[in-house]
């Protein structure tokens, strides 16, 4: 059977301090996860990060990234053009190969439980 691959696209509330962005992205650089994109926007003070891998690897990487974002980003000091809900505004999981939307919903629920 082929690997089940999912993508994760968290949006973090930091787009100006690139050292901080890099530390947050580095938290997701684990074996089996490929970082596909890092797109900081200083005006909005947000960064869109895209990575992919197997379900378990992406689940672990997302959890590590969110934990690092919580550690690094002080929302009391945040400003930017985009409305924000927290250190990580959204963290969608997208089915890529041999994965279903139900698989991605289950991953999202597990990650939410780990960081709650």
Q: What CATH number has the domain bearing residue 24?
A: 3.30.990.10
**Ordered alpha helix ranges (H), the chain:** 18-27, 55-72, 101-115
Question: Residue 78, class by beta-carbon neighbours within 10 Å (0-12 exposed, 13-18 middle, 19+ buried)?
Answer: middle
Catalytic site residue from 3, 29, 56, 82: 82
What confidence score (pLDDT) does residue 67 get?
A: 98
Tens-level pLDDT at each residue, the chain (116 residues): 689 999 999 999 999 999 999 999 999 999 999 999 999 999 889 999 999 999 999 999 999 999 999 999 987 777 766 666 788 989 999 999 999 999 999 999 999 999 98
**65 found inside a domain:** yes
Helices 18-27, 55-72: axis angle to 10 degrees equals: 150
Let me know if 82 is a catalytic residue: yes
pTM, 2 dp: 0.93
Domain count, the chain: 1
| Cα–Cα dist 102/30, whole Å | 24
**5 found inside a domain:** no
**105 found inside a domain:** yes
What confidence score (pLDDT) does residue 36 get?
A: 99
**64 found inside a domain:** yes
- Measure the CA dihedral 18/22/25/31, to 10°: 160
| Cα–Cα dist 84/27, whole Å | 22
Question: Where in the sequence is the domain holding 54, given as residue range(s)?
Answer: 13-115
What confidence score (pLDDT) does residue 85 get?
A: 74
């Amino acid at each position: 059977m082929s690997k089940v691959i999912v993508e994760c696209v968290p949006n973090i509330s930091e787009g100006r301090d690139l050292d901080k962005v890099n530390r947050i992205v580095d938290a997701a650089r684990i074996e089996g996860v490929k970082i596909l994109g890092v797109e900081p926007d200083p005006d909005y003070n947000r960064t869109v990060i895209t990575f992919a891998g197997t379900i378990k690897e992406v689940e672990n990487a997302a959890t590590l990234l969110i934990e690092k974002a919580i550690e690094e980003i002080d929302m009391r000091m945040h400003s930017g053009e985009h409305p924000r809900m927290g250190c990580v505004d959204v963290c969608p999981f997208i089915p890529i190969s041999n994965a279903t939307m139900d698989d991605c919903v289950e991953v999202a629920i597990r990650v939410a439980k780990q960081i709650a």
